[in-house]
A and B are shown apart, each in its own frame.
Chain A
Amino acid sequence: MIATEPGTLRMTFSREPVVGPASPTLTFGNKVIPSATYSETNGTAVITVNAAVPVIATFGNEGRTLIVSPVSTPSQTTATTSTPTTAPAQPTPAPAPPPIPSVAPRRYFAVVDASHGGDDHGEALSTTLAEKDVTVVLARSLRRELESRGITTLVLRDSDANLPVDQRAVFANADHAAIYIAVHATSSGHGVRVYTALLPYGEDDRGPFRAWTTAQHPALPLSQSTASAVASELQKRQLTVRTLSAALRPLNNVMGPAFAIEVAPQGSDVSQLTAPDYQQLVTSAVATAVAGVRDQLGSAP
């Protein structure tokens, strides 16, 4: 993502040679991210961003842009990023060790994402029913089922709002959610499909920063085993189920375990998607499966 939105600071680095700012202290006149300091030692540039709220750094523009943006985690005032760069005319010293990223506490065990929303209607399930309206109801139902099993849950997009896919992943990553579940609905086929990320052709991680498009890579085995547990539980409830990979954002951008469900009617009647008993049948199966693997998910980094 190469965009500057309110509350997002974008900084571009040139690797060779290192070009520093005119002043080592940068002030932005912003209450959220008021200032940053820059220092350079033997070709290693360090930027310390002082922020009133926790911030997260991600790479964009094929690694040429570092995006620092606030996240909604409990109070933490400073995040430090270190970008190793090499000055061509200088001897190459041992690079400074990267700072240990501070881990914000987990507020929610599960993040449930009602896909689409706002201008993005998703599939037109019928002439009067949009996918975005079904996903939000399913997401709320899943939250109820998870919370009834003692799992703290955040529903992303709890209203008809536009929420970019990058932002959805940022929320899940910033919260260090133990499990991210995206909810989709469809009129085609029958039952439920459970998807894990089909990772795109690999981008390399850069030092302590993970490549955005393949951030899911380390967590993929746990995502797949969780998806299998969900599929197994759905089958126990006599639901038609299928487990597949899908190039479905933001699954590949989420750093922790993540899967998506796509709910279709059992028969040919699309209105079943809005039936509370059918919704509960699906969401209770998903919640039971997640609760069953809670220990494995909770111990994941």
Chain B
Amino acid sequence: MKLEEIPRHLLIGFAILLAATLGLSVYAWHMRKTAVAPPAAVVDTRPLAPPVAGPSERVVLFIAHDDDGTLRGESAQIPMPSGRQQRAEELLRALLSRYLDKDSPHRLGAGADIRSVYLVDPGVAVIDLNSAFADTHRSGVLVEQLTVASLIQTISVNTPNLLKVKILVDGKDRETLAGHADLSSYYDVAAVNQLATQLQAGQ
């Protein structure tokens, strides 16, 4: 078929389509050059905890509040694994996530984490904190005592038959959390229970 045999209206339509295609190509090229690159994701140096398997359960977390120096029990619904030790770790991770929140009632330093919790029969728990937890913790008798009481009271109320709790930092003994709260001995769970009662009344 010769060009002059093609109907005139088809030629005009083809020319318009060709022009539109070229125009869109130029526009897309221009947009690509001016597009702003998306911001790189903030690198979270905290270790990723494995996903928790298990039904969610209602537990009590003992949350420290710096504004009035109290320790208050608050119920929370969190997924809980079936293993006793994993449950204890999840409890403390849930507690920590409250403290690392933007609107934390008792702020901890960046990177603070629980490395592990070991439950040793009869009635012994060992909480292993990472070094950032202790190294960045604020110093002071009450502020350190609130952290320790919060950890121990949360784990002991939700884990039956605990008698004593030891706190390690990076798997090692440490004299104090941040210059005051003693970490060199085993905490007596019964004594911490009494302390938690004292701490419920603010100043």
- Chain A residues in the interface with B (C-beta under 8 A): 116, 120, 122-124, 131, 184, 186-191, 193, 195, 198-202, 213, 240-249, 252, 260, 262
Tell me whether B76 is interfacial, beta carbon within 8 Å.
no
Question: Shortest distance in angstroms between A140's beta carbon and chain B's nearest beta carbon?
Answer: 21
Closest Cβ neighbor of B139 among chain A residues: A123
Provide the residues of chain B in CB contact with A242, threshold 8 Å: 69, 203
Contact A190 B203 (CB under 8 A): yes
CB contacts under 8 Å to A, within B148-203, are: 148, 163-164, 176, 179-182, 184-188, 191-192, 194-195, 198-199, 203
Residues of A within 8 A of B66 (CB): 188
Q: Which residue of B lies closest to A189 (CB)?
A: B69
- For B126-165 the 0/1 string (1 means CB < 8 A from A) is 0000000000001111110100100000000000000110
B residues apposed to A, CB below 8 Å: 66, 69, 138-143, 145, 148, 163-164, 176, 179-182, 184-188, 191-192, 194-195, 198-199, 203
Alpha-carbon distance A200/B185, docked complex (angstroms): 6
- List the A residue with the shortest CB-CB distance to B178: A123
Question: Nearest 8 A-B pairs (CB), nearest first?
Answer: A200-B185, A123-B139, A201-B164, A201-B186, A247-B182, A201-B188, A186-B140, A242-B203
- Docked-complex contact B140 and A188, CB < 8 angstroms: yes
**Shortest Cβ distance from residue B20 to the other chain A in the assembled complex, whole angstroms:** 67
Q: Is the CB of B194 within 8 A of A191?
A: no
Residue of chain B at shortest CB distance from A214? B185
B181 touching A246, Cβ below 8 Å: yes
Q: Is there an interface contact between B142 and A123, defined as CB atoms closer than 8 Å?
A: no
- A131 contacts which of B139, B194, B199 (Cβ < 8 Å)? B139
- Interface of B, secondary structure class, is mixed
In chain A, what residue has the closest Cβ to B191? Answer: A198
B188 touches A244 (CB 8 A): no
Q: State in angstroms the CA–CA spacing of A240 and B203 once bound together.
A: 7
A59–chain B nearest beta-carbon distance, Å = 14
Shortest distance in angstroms between A134's beta carbon and chain B's nearest beta carbon?
A: 13
Q: What are 13 A-B interface contacts by the 8 Å CB criterion?
A: A123-B139, A184-B141, A188-B143, A191-B203, A200-B187, A200-B191, A201-B163, A201-B186, A244-B195, A245-B194, A247-B181, A248-B145, A252-B182
Contact: B139 with A248, CB < 8 Å? no
Q: Which residue of B lies closest to A251 (CB)?
A: B182
Q: Which of A120, A191, A195, A252 interacts with B141 by CB under 8 Å? A: A195
A122 touching B199 in the complex, CB below 8 Å, given contacts A199-B191, A200-B187: no
Q: Known interface pairs A116-B179, A123-B179. Does A248 touch B141 (Cβ–Cβ under 8 Å)?
A: yes
Evaluate whether A244 and B187 lie within 8 angstroms (CB atoms) in the complex, with A120-B179, A122-B179, A123-B140 already known. Answer: no
Residue contact B141 to A245, C-beta cutoff 8 Å: no
Docked complex Cα distance between A198 and B164 (Å): 13
Given contacts A188-B66, A201-B187, A245-B191, contact A262 B142 (CB under 8 A): yes
CA distance A240 to B69 in the complex (A): 13
- Distance of A91 Cα from B155 Cα, bound (Å): 48
Q: Which residue of A lies closest to B164 (CB)?
A: A201
**Interface pair B140/A262, CB less than 8 Å apart:** yes
Say yes or no: A247 contacts B145, CB within 8 Å: yes
Residues of A within 8 Å of B138, CB to CB, are 123, 188
* Contact indicator B140/A249 (Cβ below 8 Å): no
Q: How far is the CB of A132 from chain B (nearest CB, A)?
A: 10
Residues of A within 8 A of B191 (CB): 198-200, 245
A3 to B13, CA, bound (A): 97
